[in-house]
Each structure stands twice: as structure tokens, then as C-alpha cells.
Amino acid sequence: MKTKLNIFCLLIFAVIIVDILMATDLMFSGMVSGYKSAKHIQETNTESVDGYRVVSLIPNEITWRNAITITDSATNKSYKAWPTQINLPIEDSSGTAGSILSVIIGIAIMVAGIITLVSFIRFVLNINRNNIFTRKNTKYLKRIGWCMVIIGLLATIKYCNDVYAATQTFSLTGYTIGYSDAVYTGTILFGLFSLVMAESFSIGLKMKEEQELTI
């Protein structure tokens, strides 16, 4: 019984780590990109892209009119394609502010992620010690839930802001810039599910205490 539980817990632990890494990946990759571009400018004395943002594209129609031509480097054959993602350079006017915002949000997500992982590990250890319906477990689940919701909301705010900024400076004929990939629904739903579990544990704890008082 506990073996299966531990396997599921390890899988959840892995999912949480991947989710946090995905939420912070593009933020810190932007910082790395900025550092590399600055180094490139210093070494070669040429202009370079300071940073970039990834935005989703939605084709208004799947026709040859809005298709782009790509060439297979292995066969040299040309194909028609409809891109769904594109990297756009960040404008100089918003680069500094965007970088500062990315760093602040990235640090906040990392802090919330560490709190989530520590709380989850303590929760699993309590379960393995047969301490299930306890106030500590309820507290850990609530902490996990709120941290995951915060991570999802912060990442969503950051990427929605990036998408909005992209719509102000970029347009591609036959395509619409979409917000769907900018919303971290999975992370937010996971957090809400943890909060529901916390409330269930809280109700179970109250029922247990009432039964003990009755006896």
C-alpha cells in the first residue's frame, strides 16, 4: 500500500519540479540571452538582440496565402508550413523594465516552488508515519495549494504581459497572436485541487475529533 503511495508521490514530486522549471525557464533564459548578447557585442563590436519573448500564433486560415516556405536541410526540399510559435526581440524601451520584472517574478516563483517542495516532502513523510488526518498535514496541503496558485498566476501575468507587448509592436498577415499558451491553467488547477484536499483533510480531522469527544 505504502509502496504505491510513494510511487505516486514521487511522480507528483517530479511533475511539480517540471512545472516550476517550465514557469521559470523562459524568464531566466532571457537573462542568459542578454548576458550572451552583451558579451557578443563586447567581443565583436556588433549589434545583437538583447532579449526575446516567445509568443503563440494562431493562423486565421490554413491556406497557401498565409503559409511560409521552409527548406529541409537534409533533403533540400521545400515545404509549406503554418508557424504556431515565434521568438520576437524585446524592444530597447521595454527591455530593462521587462528584465527587472522577469527577475522579480522568477525569484518569487522559485521561493514559492521551494516552499511547495519542502511542504510536499513533509506531507509525504507524515503519511508514511501513519499521521494522516493531522493539523500539520492540512497546513502543508494549504501551503502547497496557495503556492501553486501563486506560481501559476505570476507566470500567467508575466507571459500575458509579454503577449500584450508583442501585439503592440508586431503583426503578421494572416495570423493572430494568441494568449492560450500564456495561461498556466495546469499549475493553477493543481493548486486549487490541493486546497480542496486540504479542506477535505480539515473536515476529516474535525469529524475525528468529534468522534473522540463522543466516545
Task: Look at residue 169 and tell me whether its pLDDT is greater than 90.
Answer: no
pLDDT greater at residue 187 or residue 44: 187
Whole-model pTM: value is 0.73
Q: C-alpha distances in angstroms, 100 versus 27, 58, 154? A: 10, 29, 14
pLDDT level of residue 14 (50, 70, 90 thresholds): confident
Give how far Cα 103 sits from Cα of 25, 36, 83, 128, Å. 11, 17, 29, 37
Is 194:144 a contact under the CB 8 Å cutoff? yes
pLDDT band with cut points at 50, 70 and 90 for residue 34: low
Residue 192 CB contacts under 8 Å (≥ 6 apart), including other chains: 145, 149
pLDDT tens track for 89-107: 665 545 566 667 778 888 8
pLDDT value at position 20?
A: 74
> Does the structure show a pLDDT above 90 at 192?
yes
Task: Please give the Cα distance from 102 to 92 (Å, whole number).
Answer: 15
